[in-house]
Structure formats: structure tokens, C-alpha cells
Amino acid sequence: MFRLPADKVLQRALFVVALLTASLVGLIILFVLRETLPALQSPGITRFVTDESWHPLEGKFGMLPMLWGTLFSTTLAVLLATPLGIGMAVFCRYVAPPALVSTFRGLVTLLAGIPSVVFGFWGLTVLVPLIARVEPPGASLLAASLILAIMILPTVALMSEAALAAIPESYAQGAAALGLGRRATVLRVMLPAAKSGIIAAVILATARALGETMAVLMVSGNVVETPTSLFAPIRTLTANIALEMAYATKFHRASLFVSGLVLTAVIMLLAWLAYRAEHHIQKATGVLHAA
């Protein structure tokens, strides 16, 4: 196609800007990697798993208690949020009176936009004292999981609802033709048909819970110990970074960057899995449409 010279210049300039912006990701990875380099030197990267405790100022760098803290709180949060979130999606789509639907969806969207520091603050001033009444200290694995669950609920609910909405009309018609009730239609036809989308929702919610920092930091007590009960305080890997970056130096600082890098890698992997799961549903429904 004919192009004016000015347009060619514009196109080249914009392309350069686009490339520079894209290389930002490379820059981020490069700089985080660069800061992890001191971790390869003495006392060595294996200390993260072989040391029995985390006392960086005394040369102990065991990260396993915090890894458990992250894994336990995330798992519990996902276990709580998944059934509730799917329940909310089903409610919104098949059960709620039509007048309520848009208000309900609006509130869930609002919930999704609340900053994590607000969840953390509210958890700390209201939820933690309540839990402390049952069993002190209150700031605990339970508090962290509850707050995380509330935070990832909108992701599960909104994405599951979108997956349910994407099911072709013919599925509902088929179910109706067989005389299925609402329960059977939803549980045995709709939810199985939306399975891939719902799995993607849960995976993305897991990624969000893994990367969450402030809310967990504020309600979990931050004691570096492998939790033995729901009421035990925990410290997650992300909270550890936020707490110690300010004064960490050398190997200590590098170890914080290592945990950040590993978390990012895991989150990227989850995002990719979620993408694959969603892609799967598109293919599946496409084939059914043709048939």
C-alpha cells in the first residue's frame, strides 16, 4: 500500500516505543535476576532448604516454614473460595430474581476493586480480635486464609459466571426437553459444560492468593514457624519480602529476591495453565456448535 514518508517515520517510531515497552518485562526479570546473584555465592542457595530456621542476621536462611505458610494459607483460601464462588455464580445466573442480578454483580465487582491494604486493616481490627477470643493470638493461619478467601472470591465468582454465560443456549433447551429440573440442569449439564472455564477461574484465583502481600502481612502474625494449627501465626514468602527488604543486605537481600523470583515463576506457570484451560473450552464448544 502507498504510504506517505511521514507515516513511515511514525510507524518506525511507534514500533521502537512498542519494542522498548515490551523489553520492560525483560528488564524486570533481568534486574530481579541480577539481585539474586549474590545468593549463588557463600553460604549457598541450598541453605534455603537445609537451614532449620530463618534468622538472617545470625546466618540462618531456612525458608521452608514460610513456604509452608504460603502454601497452607493459599490452599485453605482456595478451598473456601471455590465452592462459595461457584455458588455465587450459580446464584447470579440461575437462582437470583432478575431484579437482583445486576445489583449483586455490581457489588461483587466492587468487592474485587477494594485494595488489599483495606482488607488487611479490617482483618486486623475486626477479624483478628474475634479469632483471639476463641484462641489467642488471633493473628493466624485462619485469619490469613479467611481474608485471602474473601479477596479471591470475586475472581472465582465473576469468571465462573462468565464461563456459565458462554454455554450455548441449546444446552439449556436440551435439558428442558428432557424435563430436567433446575438443580439437575445446573449440576449435571451447565457446571460440567463450564468446567474448563471454572478451572481457569480457580487457577487464576490461586495465583492471586500466592502473590498477595499486604493483607496477609497484616493479619497473619508474621512469626516464622511451620504452622501446627489453624490458630498458629504464620509468615508467607511475600510478607517476608515486604517486612525485611528495608534493612536486608547482601545474601539476605538476595534471598528475598530469590523468593520473589520463584513466586513470579510459579504465578506465570499458573497463568499459563489457566489460559490453556480456557482455550480448551473454546475448542470444545466450537466443535459442538458445528455438530
Partner 1 sequence: MPLENYALAARAEMTRKSAPIFEKLFTTTAWLSALLVMSFFSWMVFDIAANGFAKISWSFLTEAPLSAGRKGGISTIIVSTLLILAVTIVVAVPLAIAVAVWLAEFSRREGFAARAIGITLDVLAGIPSIVFGLFGNAFFCVFLGLGFSILSGGLTLACMVLPILIRATEAGLRAAPNEWRQGGAALGLSKATTLWQVLLPAAAPAITAGLLLGIGRALAETAALIFTSGYVDRMPASLNDSGRALAVHIYDLSMNVPGGDQAAYGSTLILIFLLIVINASAIFITNRILKARIQPK
Asked if residues 244 and 56 have their Cβ atoms less than 8 Å apart, the reply is yes
Q: Positive or negative, the Cα torsion across 272, 196, 107, 88?
A: negative
Rounded to whole angstroms, how far apart are CA atoms 239 and 200?
26
- The residue (of 18 and 79) whose beta carbon lies closer to partner 1 is 18
Preceding omega of 43 cis (within 30 degrees of 0): yes
- Beta carbon of residue 4, minimum distance to partner 1 (angstroms, whole number): 5
The torsion region of residue 135 among left (phi > 0), alpha (psi -120 to 50) and beta comes to: beta
Cell of 219: 493479619
- Beta carbon of residue 52, minimum distance to partner 1 (angstroms, whole number): 26
- The residue (of 113 and 229) whose beta carbon lies closer to partner 1 is 113
- Helices marked H in the chain — which ranges? 5-36, 47-50, 64-90, 98-113, 116-122, 128-134, 141-165, 169-177, 182-184, 191-193, 195-211, 214-219, 237-244, 250-290
- The residue (of 50 and 117) whose beta carbon lies closer to partner 1 is 117
- The residue (of 49 and 245) whose beta carbon lies closer to partner 1 is 245
- Beta carbon of residue 286, minimum distance to partner 1 (angstroms, whole number): 14
- Beta carbon of residue 90, minimum distance to partner 1 (angstroms, whole number): 5
- Beta carbon of residue 120, minimum distance to partner 1 (angstroms, whole number): 7
- The residue (of 12 and 50) whose beta carbon lies closer to partner 1 is 12
Describe the crossing of helices 64-90 and 141-165 by its angle, rounded to 10 degrees.
Answer: 40
Asked if residues 212 and 199 have their Cβ atoms less than 8 Å apart, the reply is no
- The residue (of 7 and 135) whose beta carbon lies closer to partner 1 is 7
Describe the crossing of helices 195-211 and 141-165 by its angle, rounded to 10 degrees.
Answer: 150
- Beta carbon of residue 130, minimum distance to partner 1 (angstroms, whole number): 11
- Beta carbon of residue 99, minimum distance to partner 1 (angstroms, whole number): 14
Asked if residues 280 and 196 have their Cβ atoms less than 8 Å apart, the reply is yes
- The residue (of 13 and 50) whose beta carbon lies closer to partner 1 is 13
